């Protein structure tokens, strides 16, 4: 919300630039305010956040942002688009806008939302279209965004490779929901570096789990771990692939670097107890929370679920454990291998 700015033509931008601008506020944890302005000159509320990410000349509000966008549909959403609910009878009651960052799962029931809300800017998995007033949100793509032809080849490198120059195109072009020529190029580079076994078809322009697994295998081949081996290409991963640097993906069965396996205790996907403790921040906490919500054990969330482990996560896990008939230490709210197995079975 807030007051309308001066209407102007939508500035030219790219989806990657929108997401990268949004990430700067997430990293800075910009406090929410309807009256304060951040150091970049944009108002610290939801519509000021979108005005900043879309690179608009002024601070817009939920009632004026549609003038800078074109309505789109759920099946055509791409990173950098927005989901907007404007309450014309009382703009400060319920009105909100978030930036779409890509689908969080293949069912397209959750997506990654970048938003300015209390207490500060956040990025988290969010049910489509939003936690409240879901049916009243409208999707818009920015008028000034440059679109790539879906599935088509991008510009050509001097060495003849498709997908643009050797410069990293931006994180917004990769991940759930991405569909562009850069994904195709990434897959082909990974195949050249030993990642063919991860693909049953393709590589192609639509991001898939095969792309994530092949990227992660390449990252692990370099000896990287943790956030540096999350299966999503960053500037370093991209430069290694494009420049032919680093080690190739080892053949299946070849011992690799000492990196913790995502499966442990005989349970596929269970990452270990250490990732579910106070202070933990990781994607497994988000995944756990989403599955708790899916199973009907999300009543203690007032927001989220998100990547930071909190008391709401523990209480929801405890409720699930008690529903299994467990008591005492077996229902302490911390997921072990058997809790994980039952929750995801």
C-beta separation of 108 from 8 below 8 A: no
Q: What CATH number labels 171-243?
A: 1.10.101.10
Residue 139 pLDDT grade (very low, low, confident, very high; cuts 50, 70, 90): very high
Task: Return the pLDDT at 147.
Answer: 62
Residue 9 pLDDT grade (very low, low, confident, very high; cuts 50, 70, 90): low
Residue 39 pLDDT greater than 50, yes or no: yes
Query: Nearest to residue 232, comparing CAs of 308, 168, 181, 279?
Result: 168
Percent share of the chain, pLDDT over 90? 40
**pLDDT per residue over 333-343, tens digit each?**
999 888 988 88
Task: Return the pLDDT at 171.
Answer: 82
Task: Return the pLDDT at 267.
Answer: 54
Task: Return the pLDDT at 257.
Answer: 46
Give helix 283-294 / helix 337-344 axis angle, nearest 10°.
Answer: 50
User: How buried is residue 26: exposed, middle or buried, by Cβ count under 10 Å (0-12/13-18/19+)?
Assistant: middle
Q: CATH homologous superfamily of domain 15-142?
A: endopeptidase domain like (from Nostoc punctiforme) (3.90.1720.10)
Q: What CATH number labels 273-344?
A: 1.10.101.10
**pLDDT per residue over 13-29, tens digit each?**
999 899 999 999 999 99
Residue 258 pLDDT greater than 60, yes or no: no
Within a 10 A sphere around the Cβ of 54, how many other Cβ atoms?
26
Q: How large is the average pLDDT for residues 97-110?
A: 85
Map tokens 């209407």 to a residue: 7
Residue 317 pLDDT greater than 80, yes or no: yes
Residue 291 pLDDT greater than 50, yes or no: yes
DSSP-based three-state secondary structure for 310: coil
CA dihedral 272, 276, 279, 283 (to 10 degrees): 80
Per domain, the residue ranges of the chain are 15-142, 171-243, 273-344
Residue 294 pLDDT grade (very low, low, confident, very high; cuts 50, 70, 90): confident
Q: Does residue 156 or residue 12 have the better pLDDT?
A: 12
Task: Return the pLDDT at 7.
Answer: 43
- Equal fold, 15-142 vs 171-243: no
Residue 30 pLDDT grade (very low, low, confident, very high; cuts 50, 70, 90): very high
Range from 142-146, 148-152, 220-224 carrying the lowest mean pLDDT: 148-152
User: How buried is residue 6: exposed, middle or buried, by Cβ count under 10 Å (0-12/13-18/19+)?
Assistant: exposed
Task: Return the pLDDT at 153.
Answer: 33
Output the average pLDDT for the chain: 83
Two tokens, residue 124 = 């988290």
CA distance 212 to 225: 14
CA distance 317 to 294: 13
- pTM equals 0.47
Provide the total of helices (H) and of strands (E) in the chain, helices listed first: 8, 6
Task: Return the pLDDT at 158.
Answer: 28
Range from 12-16, 86-90, 162-166, 258-262 carrying the lowest mean pLDDT: 258-262
């Amino acid at each position: 919300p807030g007051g309308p700015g001066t209407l102007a033509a939508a500035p030219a931008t790219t989806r990657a630039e929108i997401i990268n601008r949004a990430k700067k506020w997430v990293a800075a944890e910009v406090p929410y305010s309807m009256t304060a302005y951040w150091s970049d000159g944009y108002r610290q509320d939801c519509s000021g956040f979108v005005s900043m990410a879309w690179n608009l000349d002024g601070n817009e509000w939920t009632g004026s942002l549609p003038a800078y966008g074109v309505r789109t549909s759920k099946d055509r959403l791409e990173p950098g688009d927005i989901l907007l609910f404007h309450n014309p009878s009382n703009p400060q009651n319920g009105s909100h806008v978030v930036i779409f960052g890509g689908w969080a799962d293949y069912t397209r029931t959750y997506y990654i939302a970048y938003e300015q809300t209390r207490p500060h800017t956040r990025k988290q998995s969010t049910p489509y279209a939003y936690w409240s007033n879901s049916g009243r949100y409208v999707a818009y793509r920015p008028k000034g965004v440059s679109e790539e032809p879906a599935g088509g080849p991008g510009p050509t490198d001097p060495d003849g490779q498709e997908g643009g120059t050797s410069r990293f195109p931006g994180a917004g072009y990769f991940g759930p929901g991405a569909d562009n020529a850069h994904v195709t190029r990434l897959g082909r580079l990974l195949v050249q570096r030993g990642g063919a076994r991860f693909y049953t078809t393709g590589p192609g322009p639509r991001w898939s789990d095969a792309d994530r697994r092949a990227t992660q295998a390449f990252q692990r081949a370099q000896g990287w771990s943790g956030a540096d081996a999350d299966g999503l290409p960053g500037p370093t991963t991209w430069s290694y692939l494009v420049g032919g640097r680093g080690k190739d993906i080892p053949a299946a069965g070849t011992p690799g670097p000492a990196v913790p396996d995502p499966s442990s205790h005989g349970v596929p996907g269970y990452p270990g107890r250490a990732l579910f403790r106070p202070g933990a921040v990781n994607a497994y906490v988000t995944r756990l929370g989403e599955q708790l919500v899916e199973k009907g054990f999300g009543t203690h969330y007032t927001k989220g679920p998100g990547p930071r482990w909190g008391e709401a996560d523990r209480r929801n896990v405890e409720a699930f454990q008690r529903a299994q008939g467990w008591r005492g230490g077996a229902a302490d709210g911390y997921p072990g291998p058997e809790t994980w197995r039952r929750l995801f079975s």
